[in-house]
Amino acid sequence: MRVESVEAIPVEIPLTRNFGGSTYAVLKRSTVITRMRTDAGLVSEVYNGDNREHGLEITRLIHEALAPRVIGMSIFEGERVWETMFALSHASRDRKTLLEAIACVDCALWDLVGKALGKSVGTLLGGYRSRLPIISIGGYYMEGKTLADIGREMEAYRRAGMAGCKFKVGGLTPTQDAERVEVARRAAGSDFVLAVDANRGWSAQDAVRFARLIEPLDIRWFEEPCHWHDDAALMARVRQATRIPVTAGQSEITSHGVRRLLEAGAVDLVNVDASECGGVTEWRRAAALCSAAGVDMAHHEESQIAQHLMAAVPHGTYAECFADPERDPVWQSMWANRPAIKDGMIEVSQDPGFGLVLDEAMILRYRVGG
């Protein structure tokens, strides 16, 4: 069974307000849908990424650079397909965007393999469990947001069935952000998973100061605590100074970047993102490295993909989503057959491939670039 055509569709949905972290702003929900067709009539249905600026460039790369190399290849020679696409990275000036484009094609290929064999991607990767806990990303900085608002936000996530929250920090002083986290913990209760994410917002010194302030609050992990320019070495310092597990990996674009974090002793968990690092094929290599090192796997956002990955391996942890309806209309509406969340758990789709059904009317309304 061979690839006959590849279509990529960029989607951009304006948001009602800025959902920003310590180092960035989010004003629209963007993703890329990839429909790969085989000569036997199978069609993939998968979306990747929360990109805010370059969906059109990703789709251009797919149509002009990747599809001509992939068309005609068997869907069952995934490693060869991936190697063929990755060869373009050696001459690319923007490897990050190229790897995101490769991820779209690679995930579409895994979707087709699952559909051809009648197996879910989670089953193909190992099938370790059929359900897993899910947490919401939240705690965003917003003008006028009060400590009382933070408490109400945590209560809303509990009502939505979430097992926990990954809470944004790193945009204020360590003392101010520690106060915000303390309010979140008090409102959420002791049985609610609470992690914190600084988005590379602090120096090692400030990160350590913050970590020591929140250590009594039972924090699941401290994500990307330190500035980007020397993050592995700085995170290793933070990890040595606190009992809170340190997490990173979402900013890496290959499994080789994950290996760098492991060799530096910088992380207790790795949250490498399949939509950023070249797809399921490369994520699987990163997961194997982490398994050998005794490091657990998280996943940056992308629950439509991550549910299969986290459920497939023994060292998988949580799926992540945006439970706030205003933050992610794709999660709320475009993913038409999204599994219901109950008691903090998501049932992993057992349908072939990724098992996604998307709202075509919504795609037509928000697609960009013609």
pLDDT on residue 108:
98
CA distance 218 to 355: 35
Dmax over Cα atoms in the chain, in whole Å? Answer: 60
142-160 pLDDT, tens per residue?
Answer: 989 999 999 999 999 999 9
96-132 pLDDT, tens per residue?
Answer: 999 999 999 999 999 999 999 999 999 999 999 999 9
In this structure, of 86-90, 98-102, 168-172, 325-329, the range with the lowest mean pLDDT score is 325-329
User: Residue 3's beta-bridge partner residues?
Assistant: 38
> What would the DSSP string read from start to end of 318-363?
-EEE--STTT-HIIIIIBTTPPPEETTEEEPP-SSBT---B-HHHH
Closest CA to 264 of 225, 231, 299, 292: 231
Fold of 3-118+358-366: Enolase-like; domain 1 (3.30.390)
CA distance 46 to 250: 20
Mean pLDDT in residue range 20-27: 80
Mean pLDDT in residue range 308-318: 98
Long-range contacts of 303-307 (CB under 8 A, 24+ apart): 303/134, 303/331, 303/346, 304/46, 304/47, 304/335, 304/338, 304/354, 304/356, 305/46, 305/48, 305/107, 305/274, 305/275, 305/280, 305/354, 306/274, 307/122, 307/132, 307/339, 307/346, 307/348, 307/349
Read off the pLDDT band of 27 (50, 70, 90): confident
Which CATH number fits the domain 123-347, given the four candidates 3.40.50.300, 3.30.420.10, 3.20.20.120, 3.40.50.720? 3.20.20.120
Burial readout 9-28 (b: 16 or more C-beta within 10 A, e: otherwise): bbbbbeeeeebbbbeeebeb
Quote the percentage of the chain above a pLDDT of 90: 94
The residue length of the chain stands at 370
The strands making up 28-38's β-sheet, listed across from edge to edge, are 3-14, 28-38, 46-48
Q: Which residue has the higher pLDDT, 52 or 240?
A: 240
Between helix 174-188 and helix 204-214 the angle, nearest 10°, is: 30
CA distance 117 to 324: 36
pLDDT on residue 195:
98
Between helix 78-86 and helix 280-293 the angle, nearest 10°, is: 100
Closest CA to 305 of 285, 321, 293: 321
175-197 pLDDT, tens per residue?
Answer: 999 999 999 999 999 999 999 99
Q: Where in the chain is the domain with CATH 3.20.20.120?
A: 123-347
CA distance 191 to 332: 26
φ/ψ (deg, to 5) at 135: -125, 155
**Average pLDDT score, the chain:** 96
Mean pLDDT in residue range 208-228: 98
Read off the pLDDT band of 22 (50, 70, 90): confident
Read off the pLDDT band of 55 (50, 70, 90): very high
Mean pLDDT in residue range 282-297: 98
Q: Where in the chain is the domain with CATH 3.30.390.10?
A: 3-118+358-366
Task: Report how far apart, in Å, the C-alpha atoms of 88 and of each of 83, 244, 289 are.
Answer: 9, 39, 24
CA distance 277 to 172: 30
User: Residue 353's beta-bridge partner residues?
Assistant: 120
What are the residue ranges of helices labelled H in 215-349? 231-241, 255-263, 280-293, 303-312, 329
Residue 84 is encoded by which pair of tokens?
Answer: 């063929």
Mean pLDDT in residue range 269-276: 98
φ/ψ (deg, to 5) at 297: -105, 130
Q: Are 188 and 194 in contact (CB under 8 A)?
A: yes
pLDDT on residue 50:
87
Residue 347 has pLDDT above 70, yes or no: yes
User: How would you class 57 by CB atoms within 10 Å of its CB: exposed for 0-12, middle for 13-18, buried for 19 or more?
Assistant: middle
**pTM assigned to the model:** 0.96
123-141 pLDDT, tens per residue?
Answer: 999 999 999 999 999 999 9
pLDDT on residue 370:
65
